[in-house]
Structures are given as structure tokens and as C-alpha cells.
């Protein structure tokens, strides 16, 4: 009987709004919400599991009691939010499935041990689409958005005064210390801070650590409403639907590069990884591939390597703080571009000379 209930719980009507489908679960037939907590995969290979990776960040003590508000271990409004002390620092992945119960849409995902979790779609009255709303309001940090922000380190961003919250400031980790913000003010990005500060206004997955023209460092939420880059929009990576990642031919390989840049605060774990997308004998071929990646919103660069008599041009996405994050991005690009065959994560070559470095404005 138990096996029958589990099988029936897997019978769903398929509709997927982000790519034409949604999953409407057979709750009443399956026997209730308890079955959701019971369905756990025995053979979990999280690192190579398709999906959009994220992490639960740290928060000030006053915020910890709320847990991770939109995230539950059952797709039900009456279920308690995921507990802060049990989930802070852990990773997860969105599967690409949506469940509907009592008119509420839920994102389906797994933790790093493949335990199922669910995130409420609270975008009903928002101008943002479902994924964007979860990205900025879900109290988690998505790996691809984090990678996009890392690509801005040592580059300038510009304050969009009309998009700021009322009395929003350039905050610091100290409640009583802050600096003013003005429209079109130029700030230099020097790092990322994933911690959630109770005293800091703004909506976004994490803070950019920025420096003003007076040399003062502060924090501002990563959000295209508040900031833009010269000649474009703050990039957030518009990754393909997670369901499409299953076709990726990887695993990718990763190697340690070196210490992180001063002032940066990456995800816990190893740091300093670079993803080599492809290698080209002709610079023009590499530049064409670089343009295609940039037009899709990826932070890529073309690097000249090899001996003078046998130059090779490597197309790279670099600055990843951990092996899982780099390998996740490898699967994303491999699934999106047909000309990519064997992306790998490898050690950078310190003597390499950038042949054509550009940052995407998307």
C-alpha cells in the first residue's frame, strides 16, 4: 500500500509556465502531505544533479528566528519555514518542477543530501517573473547570480537614484555607521558580502561591497533597480530552465587556482576556479564565440596562451569561489551552446595575456 501511494504521488499533470509546463501534484490521491517528507532519494549525486544551484546565507541574530521564510519541507502554507540553524550554509538546487496546491505555486528542489524542499512562489502581485522574484526575495543566493556579481569586482557600478528605497544608504556591517548615496554616483566594486544585515535596507540576494570616491567602503544590495553598469544593465545571468540541464555531457573537472581577492567574501569552501569553455587556434573564432556568450549574458573573456609560435586562445569564465559553483556553470553553458563540447574547470595561467576581455552589460 505504501509503495502504491508513493507511485501515485509521482503521477502529475504536466504544465510548465516557464517553458510551458506546471506540475499539479495528486495530493489527495497520494494520501496527504506526509508523503512529501517521506520521498527521499537513496542514491544522491548532488554535484552532478541538474538544476539551478543556490545556498542558504548567514543572517543577523534578530533575523534567524524567522528561518528561511519562503522555503518549506512540505508544499503547504501551514508548514514551518526551514530552520535557520539546520540550513544556514547548506546548498540546494531547483529541479525546474513547479507544484500547485490550493492555488499556490511551489518551486520544487533538493538539499545537498537530495532531501526534497519547496519554495513558495510569492510573485503574484510583482512585476518580476517567478524566478526573478525568488532570486531577489527568496533569502537564498543563486550560484549563477553570484558568479555574475563576481565579474564586476574591480569594476564600476552607477547608482540609480530613482530606483533606491526611501532613505536608502550605503550601509556597513555596523548599524551606526553609514554613508550617503546620490543619483549617478559611481562606486567601485571590491567584493561581495552574502550576510543578511537587519539594519540594511534594500531587496536583493546579497550585498556588493563597494568603495566611493572618498575611499569609504560600504554595502548595497545587488539589484538592477539600485545599480547599473556603464553602458548597460546589472547582469543577473538568465540561465536556461533547469530541466534542460539534464542533457549536459559533463562532468566537468576543477583545479585549485589560488587565494581569493582581498575584500571578497565567497561562498564557503574552496575558492579560485576558472572555467575554460573552449580553445581556438584562430583569434577570430574565439572572438565570435566570446560575442555569443556575452550576448547571452555571461561574463566571459578570451585569453591568449601558449608559445609565440603556437598561440592558443582560451574562452573563459573565471572568478568562481568553489568547485561546485564552477561545475554548475559548466553544465549551464554546455547545455545552452551546441558548439561547446568539453568545458572544464582548470587552473589559470598567470602568464596569460588577455586577448579580448569584455564584461557583459546584460
Cell numbers of 293, please?
Answer: 556568450
- Give the pLDDT mean for 337-351: 50
Confidence bin at 57 (pLDDT 50/70/90)? very high
Confidence bin at 245 (pLDDT 50/70/90)? very low
What pLDDT is stored for residue 198 in this prediction?
96
CATH of 153-233 among 2.60.40, 3.30.1490, 3.40.1350, 2.30.30: 2.30.30
What pLDDT is stored for residue 65 in this prediction?
95
pLDDT at 111 exceeding the cut of 50? yes
Q: Would you call 54 helix, strand, or coil by DSSP?
A: strand
pLDDT at 271 exceeding the cut of 60? no
What pLDDT is stored for residue 242 in this prediction?
33
Cell numbers of 30, please?
Answer: 497520494
Q: Lowest-confidence range among 17-31, 69-83, 183-197, 228-242?
A: 17-31
Percent of the chain whose predicted confidence (pLDDT) is above 90: 39
- Give the pLDDT mean for 307-326: 76
Report how far residue 22's alpha carbon sits from residue 73's, in angstroms, rounded to the nearest whole number: 19
pLDDT at 340 exceeding the cut of 60? no
Q: Lowest-confidence range among 180-184, 317-321, 337-341?
A: 337-341
Greater pLDDT, 19 or 168: 168
**Would you give the distance in Å from CA 64 to the centre of its chain?**
22
- Give the pLDDT mean for 40-58: 81
pLDDT at 171 exceeding the cut of 80? yes
pLDDT at 29 exceeding the cut of 60? no
What pLDDT is stored for residue 331 in this prediction?
67
Greater pLDDT, 95 or 323: 95
Greater pLDDT, 155 or 286: 155
What pLDDT is stored for residue 156 in this prediction?
95
Confidence bin at 339 (pLDDT 50/70/90)? low
- Give the pLDDT mean for 66-88: 95
- C-alpha distances (whole Å) from 278 to each of 286, 338, 339, 342, 349 are 8, 12, 9, 7, 15
What ranges do the domains of the chain cover?
2-139, 153-233, 242-357
- Give the pLDDT mean for 296-315: 80
Contact 209, 192 (CB under 8 A): yes
pLDDT at 163 exceeding the cut of 60? yes
Residue 190 burial class via C-beta count within 10 angstroms: exposed 0-12, middle 13-18, buried 19 and up: middle
Residue 263 burial class via C-beta count within 10 angstroms: exposed 0-12, middle 13-18, buried 19 and up: middle
What pLDDT is stored for residue 338 in this prediction?
53
What pLDDT is stored for residue 150 in this prediction?
85
Greater pLDDT, 277 or 260: 277
Q: What is the mean pLDDT of the chain?
A: 74
Q: Lowest-confidence range among 91-105, 213-227, 262-276?
A: 262-276
Q: Which of 132-136, 145-149, 249-253 has the highest mean pLDDT?
A: 132-136
pTM confidence score: 0.59
Amino acid at each position: 500500500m505504501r509503495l502504491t501511494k508513493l507511485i501515485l504521488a509521482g503521477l502529475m499533470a504536466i504544465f510548465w509556465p516557464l517553458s510551458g509546463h506546471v506540475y499539479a501534484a495528486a495530493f489527495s490521491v497520494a494520501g496527504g502531505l506526509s508523503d512529501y517528507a517521506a520521498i527521499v532519494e537513496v542514491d544522491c549525486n548532488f554535484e552532478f544533479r541538474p538544476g539551478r544551484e543556490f545556498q542558504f546565507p548567514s543572517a543577523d541574530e534578530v533575523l534567524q528566528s524567522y528561518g528561511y521564510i519562503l522555503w518549506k519541507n512540505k508544499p503547504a502554507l501551514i508548514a514551518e519555514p526551514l530552520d535557520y540553524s539546520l540550513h544556514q550554509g547548506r546548498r540546494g538546487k531547483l529541479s525546474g518542477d513547479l507544484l500547485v496546491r490550493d492555488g499556490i505555486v511551489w518551486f520544487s528542489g533538493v538539499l545537498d543530501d537530495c532531501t526534497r524542499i519547496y519554495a513558495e512562489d510569492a510573485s503574484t502581485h510583482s512585476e518580476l517573473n517567478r524566478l526573478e522574484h525568488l532570486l531577489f526575495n527568496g533569502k537564498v543566493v543563486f550560484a549563477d547570480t553570484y558568479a555574475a556579481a563576481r565579474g564586476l569586482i574591480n569594476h564600476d557600478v552607477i547608482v540609480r537614484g530613482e530606483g533606491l528605497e526611501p532613505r536608502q544608504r550605503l550601509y556597513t556591517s555596523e548599524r551606526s555607521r553609514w554613508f550617503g548615496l546620490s543619483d549617478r554616483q559611481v562606486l567601485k566594486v571590491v567584493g561581495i558580502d552574502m550576510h543578511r544585515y537587519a539594519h540594511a535596507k534594500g531587496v536583493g540576494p546579497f550585498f556588493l561591497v563597494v568603495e566611493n570616491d572618498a575611499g569609504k567602503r560600504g554595502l548595497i544590495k545587488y539589484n538592477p533597480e539600485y545599480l547599473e553598469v556603464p553602458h548597460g544593465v546589472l547582469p543577473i545571468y538568465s540561465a536556461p530552465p533547469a530541466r534542460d540541464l539534464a542533457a549536459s555531457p559533463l562532468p566537468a573537472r576543477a583545479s585549485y587556482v589560488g587565494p581569493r581577492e582581498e575584500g571578497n567574501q565567497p561562498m564557503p569552501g574552496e575558492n579560485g576556479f576558472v572555467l575554460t569553455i573552449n580553445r581556438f587556434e584562430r583569434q577570430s573564432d574565439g572572438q565570435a564565440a566570446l560575442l555569443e556568450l556575452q550576448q547571452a549574458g555571461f561574463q566571459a573573456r578570451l585569453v591568449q596562451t601558449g608559445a609565440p609560435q603556437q598561440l592558443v586562445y582560451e574562452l573563459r569564465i573565471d572568478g568562481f569561489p568553489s568547485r561546485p559553483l564552477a561545475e554548475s556553470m559548466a553544465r549551464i553553458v554546455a547545455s545552452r551552446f551546441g558548439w561547446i563540447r568539453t568545458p572544464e574547470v582548470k587552473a589559470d595561467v598567470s602568464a596569460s595575456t588577455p586577448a579580448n576581455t569584455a564584461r557583459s552589460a546584460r
